[in-house]
Each structure stands twice: as structure tokens, then as C-alpha cells.
Amino acid sequence: MSEQVILNIAGVNKRFGGLQALTDVGIRIMQGQIYGLIGPNGAGKTTFFNVITGLYQPDSGTFELAGKAYSPSAPHDVARAGIARTFQNIRLFGEMSALENVMVGRHVRTKQGVLGAILRHKAAREEERAIHVRAQELLDFVGIGQFANRTAKFLSYGDQRRLEIARALATDPQLLALDEPAAGMNATEKLGLRELLVKIKAQGKTVLLIEHDVKLMMGLCDRITVLEYGKQIAEGVPAEIQKNQAVIDAYLGGAH
């Protein structure tokens, strides 16, 4: 089985004024893996996310997606290249319905513009219909199909998280990057999320995942990188990470 490297990042450095937020961070994710990124608060996980998705400009680093170099300079280019993300604090389009939120996700893979909007000729109508159908499919896939017409801001918290994932999937990404999708969820909701992520992986999608729930991560991820103060202190399969002394020290404080 030929395994393709989906994401190949190396040598990322990012400084904010006096703070070195990331030092020489790099990861390699293979096709179909769920790759975890963990670390104490402030370790630089979201910063790393923001760098690879174009929200922050790195001081240095190489970025490759599915073998092709990509430039993380503008978020919309990154989305077009094939990385879709969710946000730590949910960022939905609150006034739009759930369905419309996911339809926006299709924007990057569709092309009708002003003329298509006004004239609604055959190609435009077909594209619109296809967007509609795919959006409903994705809503069903993540389990909130029945809320298609509900205004997004009125969805329950757990459903909003699912909606964000559906929207990200709508961009047909090579890599799905999820920033703390389980934050604020209770145990039942986390189980539901786990099931969803397993479903996504079963479809062959590759996932990069930031999370704090260590148990969830250990059971779900194929490989994990641990960050602390912007540096990688460990990388490997969950079993190795759990036994890694540096990791234990980072989380529990270590001996002083």
C-alpha cells in the first residue's frame, strides 16, 4: 500500500515581539491518519494552526501539501490548496442557516459569479443544485441533517461544532484541521464526536487534531506531537507518548 505524505511541514519559527511562540516545529502526516497535537495551554498549538492555515505569517518554514509546496500567506489560498479548518471558539456564520453555512463551504470549489447569479442560466442553476445537494449530504453525514433550515446561532453547542466540521468538509479538503473540537463537550457528546471522527477517517480523509482531552487523543490518534513553550518535546504513537518522561513532566510539572 503506497502511503502518501499529505502534510509535510518543517522548520516553522514564529516570534511575536519578545515571545518566541514556535521554535523549529515540523510534522509529517500520512494519508488517512488522524494526527494529534497536544500540549499545555500556551504551548503554541493554535499558533501553529494559524501559521499553517495562513492566518499568521511564519518567520520561516517549509510547507507541502500532498507533495506540492503551498504558500501559507493567505487563508483563502490555503483553503483552495486543500486545508480546511475549524476554530477553537466556534466561528460560524450565525445569521445563516445550517445549510447555508455548509453551502458557503462549497464556495472554493465552485465558480458562478455575478452573471450566473443574475441570469441563472443552466450551468448556474445546476451548480446551485449541486451545492445544495452536497451541503445536505454533509449535514446528514455529521448528524444534523434535520436542522438544515435552522439559523446557525440557534443550534445547540454540540451541533454547532458538528456544523463547523461539515462546513470544513464541504471544501473537499486534503487535510481537515480541527482546533479543539471537543472543547466544552460532556462525555456523551465527546463519544459522538469520536464516532464522527472515526467515520471521517473511514472515508480516507486525513485529520490534524488539537485537543486537551488526553484520553480522547490517545484512543483516537495514529500519531501525536507534543508541544511545550513552542518546542516539540515528543513525537510518536500514543503508547510512546504516554510513557515519555518529558511529556509527563510538561503536564504534571516535573521535579524541581
Partner 1 sequence: MALLTFDTQHKPRQAYTSMAIVLVLLLIFPFFAAQFGNSWVRIIDIALLYIMLALGLNIVVGFAGLLDLGYIAFFAVGAYLVGLFSSPQFAALLESVIYYSPAIGEALVAFFGPEIQQNGIHLSLWAIVPLAALSAALCGALLGAPTLKLRGDYLAIVTLGFGEIIRIFMNNLNDPINFTNGPQGINMIDPIRIFGVSLAGEAGSNATVHIGSYAMPSVNAYYFLFLALVIASIFITGRLQHSRLGRAWVAIREDEIAAKAMGINTRNVKLLAFAMGASFGGVAGAMFGAFQGFVSPESFSLTESIAVLAMVVLGGIGHIPGVVLGGVLLAALPEVLRHVVDPAQQALFGKVIIEAEVLRQLLYGLALVLIMLVRPAGLWPSPNKEERPNAALARDDEEASTT
Rank residues 41 and 149 by Cβ distance to partner 1 and give the closer one. Answer: 149
What whole-number distance in Å separates Cα of residue 13 and Cα of residue 51?
Answer: 9
Rank residues 25 and 78 by Cβ distance to partner 1 and give the closer one. Answer: 78
Rank residues 14 and 167 by Cβ distance to partner 1 and give the closer one. Answer: 167
What secondary structure does DSSP assign to 178-237, as a single string?
Answer: EESTTTT--HHHHHHHHHHHHHHHHTT-EEEEE-S-HHHHHHH-SEEEEEETTEEEEEE-
Span from 34-42, 106-114, 235-243, 246-254 in contact with partner 1 (CB under 8 A): 106-114
All cell numbers assigned to 104: 458557503
All cell numbers assigned to 134: 452536497
All cell numbers assigned to 181: 473540537
Position among 1, 118, 239, 252 found at the interface with partner 1 (CB under 8 A): 118
Position among 68, 69, 71, 94 found at the interface with partner 1 (CB under 8 A): 94
Sign of CA dihedral 43, 5, 209, 79: positive
In the complex, the smallest distance separating the C-beta of residue 68 from partner 1, rounded to whole angstroms, is: 17
All cell numbers assigned to 241: 507518548
Position among 2, 3, 41, 149 found at the interface with partner 1 (CB under 8 A): 149
Residue 49, classed as helix, strand or coil, is helix
- Phi and psi based region of residue 236 (left: phi greater than 0; alpha: psi -120 to 50; beta: remaining): left
Q: Rule CB under 8 A: is residue 92 a binding residue for partner 1?
A: yes
Rank residues 163 and 234 by Cβ distance to partner 1 and give the closer one. Answer: 163
Task: Report whether 171 contacts 76 (CB < 8 A).
Answer: no
Q: Rule CB under 8 A: is residue 187 a binding residue for partner 1?
A: no
Backbone angles phi, psi at 79, to 5 degrees: -65, -40
Rank residues 45 and 167 by Cβ distance to partner 1 and give the closer one. Answer: 167
> CB 248: neighbour CB atoms within 10 A?
14
Position among 8, 160, 171, 232 found at the interface with partner 1 (CB under 8 A): 171
Position among 33, 46, 47, 53 found at the interface with partner 1 (CB under 8 A): 53
Position among 69, 121, 140, 154 found at the interface with partner 1 (CB under 8 A): 154
Q: Report DSSP state, residue 2.
A: P
What whole-number distance in Å separates Cα of residue 143 and Cα of residue 147?
Answer: 9
Q: Rule CB under 8 A: is residue 120 a binding residue for partner 1?
A: yes
All cell numbers assigned to 160: 454547532
Span from 9-17, 56-64, 152-160, 224-232 in contact with partner 1 (CB under 8 A): 152-160
- Footprint of partner 1 (CB under 8 A): 53-55, 74-76, 78-80, 84-85, 87, 91-97, 100, 103-110, 112-114, 116-118, 120, 124, 127-128, 131, 143-144, 146-147, 149-151, 154, 156, 158-159, 167-168, 171, 188
